Amino acid sequence: MSSLDRKSIAQGMRLVSIAADEYDEGNEALGLEIYLSGIDKVLMALPSNILHFLIATYQFSDC
């Protein structure tokens, strides 16, 4: 089992914050691109067992 990568989570959250600023400034496309990069960084920083749980939960939810 891999461990939690706190540095990557912090970097991902910073990207999400930058994305919100870009979106607020009217740069919707750039904001979305940065946001998705940030979310990807956060997800990849999670231990594999938690990531697999989240994927399984999403696949079988009624969302």
Domain that holds residue 52: 6-59
Neighbours of 15 (CB within 10 A): 20
Residue 36, domain member (yes or no): yes
User: Is pLDDT of 51 > 60?
Assistant: yes
Counted domains in the chain: 1
DSSP H/E element including 4: none
Question: Phi and psi of 35, rounded to 5°?
Answer: -60, -50
pLDDT in tens, 21-44: 999 999 999 999 999 999 999 999
User: Is pLDDT of 4 > 90?
Assistant: no
In 3D, which of 41, 57, 60 has the Cα closest to residue 49?
A: 57
Residue 1, domain member (yes or no): no
Residue 33, domain member (yes or no): yes
Given a contact cutoff of 8 angstroms between Cβ atoms, the answer to whether 1 and 34 are in contact is: no
User: Is pLDDT of 16 > 90?
Assistant: yes
User: Is pLDDT of 12 > 60?
Assistant: yes
DSSP 3-state helix, strand, coil percentages of the chain (rounded to 5)? Answer: 80, 0, 20
User: Is pLDDT of 60 > 80?
Assistant: no
